[in-house]
């Protein structure tokens, strides 16, 4: 039966999900914005959390280790070997455990058996197991029981327990899963919110100038004018406002966020032609000012 979620269990689930979400988000964001410290934080955060959980669990493990295990006879209901063909073989046993003065129950345990001794274990055989009284699903086979228990196994009869008597670790429950999922979302969202400027601000435009003719210049007399025509509209302004016209081109041409622009002014025989080329994620496009 699912155990009732306690606040400590819910907090652990929320914290685990939060660390996982923050670590994944930091790794992805660090790659996108090319920030090495953020990427390393995404790698180190789970390791630090594992170390913290280990240290925090030391008192609980000490209390569990102080519990005196209980010994009992167990009947082998079924067994399944697997893993390797040499040395010790891991064998999964389904056992009926018959403790003194308590109801019998079933439990699944894994016990390593030498390959030579594997044929000696058969359904119906008796073994000696030990288990914590408060956690019977952690039972384990005693490989070399004391002489007293060896004598008890001789002639003892253990009746099979019903399948419904199988003991298993109690699940965390649905509330634990919900808490972990909420922590995952909030952890990822926190990292994105902290670095939203770097993630969603376009890269600065790079200014370049190249030559495609014998004479190239970016300025003309203030008395002249320049006209930019495209399917999106028409803009006119003085020649000394070339930067403003470039800004107009980045808004008029549909190439996505502009990554670079190129301004080419060609003078041939007194006629001046200006081409503004904008490059972005969607490709390149240009506006041409008719010769003057």
Q: Which two tokens stand for residue 274?
A: 């200006």
Name the band, by pLDDT with cuts 50, 70 and 90, for residue 28.
very high
Amino acid 269: pLDDT? 62
Q: Does the structure show a pLDDT above 80 at 36?
A: yes
Which residue reads 């410290």 in tokens? 37
Amino acid 3: pLDDT? 47
Percent of the chain with pLDDT over 90: 35
Amino acid 258: pLDDT? 57
Amino acid 276: pLDDT? 74
Q: Give residue limits of the domains in the chain.
A: 7-65+172-198, 70-165, 206-289
State how far the alpha carbon of 56 is from the alpha carbons of 50, 61, 195, 209, in Å: 10, 10, 31, 62
What is the pairing mode between strands 206-208 and 225-230? unpaired
Amino acid 198: pLDDT? 83
Amino acid 50: pLDDT? 94
Q: Does the structure show a pLDDT above 80 at 254?
A: no
Residue 283 sits at the vertex; the CA angle it makes with 281 and 286, to the nearest 5 degrees, is 125
Q: Does the structure show a pLDDT above 50 at 228?
A: no
pLDDT tens string 85-136: 667 888 899 999 999 888 999 999 999 888 888 878 889 999 999 999 989 9
User: Do 16 and 10 meet the contact criterion of CB atoms below 8 Å apart?
Assistant: no
pLDDT tens string 168-227: 887 767 888 898 999 999 999 999 999 888 888 765 544 444 433 333 333 333 333 444
Amino acid 114: pLDDT? 84
pLDDT tens string 38-52: 999 999 999 999 999
pLDDT tens string 10-19: 888 899 999 9
Helix ranges (DSSP H) in 142-241:
147-153, 174-194, 196-200
Amino acid 263: pLDDT? 67
User: Do 288 and 275 meet the contact criterion of CB atoms below 8 Å apart?
Assistant: yes
Go through the chain and tell me how many residues it has: 292
């Amino acid at each position: 039966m699912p155990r009732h979620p306690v606040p400590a269990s819910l907090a652990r689930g929320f914290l685990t999900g939060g660390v996982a979400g923050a670590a994944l988000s930091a790794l992805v964001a660090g790659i996108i914005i090319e920030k090495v410290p953020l990427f390393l934080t995404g790698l180190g955060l789970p390791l630090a959390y594992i170390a913290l959980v280990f240290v925090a669990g030391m008192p609980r493990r000490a209390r569990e280790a102080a519990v005196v295990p209980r010994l009992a006879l167990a009947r082998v209901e079924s067994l399944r070997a697997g893993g390797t063909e040499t040395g010790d073989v891991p064998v999964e046993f389904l056992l009926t455990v018959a403790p003194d003065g308590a109801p019998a129950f079933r439990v699944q345990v894994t016990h390593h058996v030498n390959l030579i001794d594997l044929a000696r274990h058969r359904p119906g055989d008796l073994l000696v197991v030990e288990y914590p009284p408060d956690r019977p699903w952690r039972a384990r086979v005693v490989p070399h029981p004391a002489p007293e228990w060896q004598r008890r196994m001789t002639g003892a009869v253990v009746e099979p327990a019903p399948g419904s008597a199988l003991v298993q670790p109690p699940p965390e429950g649905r509330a634990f899963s919900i808490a972990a999922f909420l922590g995952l979302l909030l952890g990822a969202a926190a990292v994105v919110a902290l670095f939203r400027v770097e993630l969603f601000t376009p890269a600065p435009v790079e200014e370049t100038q190249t030559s495609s003719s014998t004479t190239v210049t970016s300025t003309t007399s203030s008395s002249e004018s320049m006209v930019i025509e495209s399917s999106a509209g028409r803009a006119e302004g003085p020649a000394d406002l070339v930067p403003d016209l470039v800004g107009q081109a980045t808004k008029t041409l549909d190439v996505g966020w502009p990554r670079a622009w190129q301004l080419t002014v060609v003078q041939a025989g007194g006629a001046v032609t200006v081409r503004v080329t904008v490059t972005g994620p969607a490709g390149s496009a240009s506006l041409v000012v008719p010769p003057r």
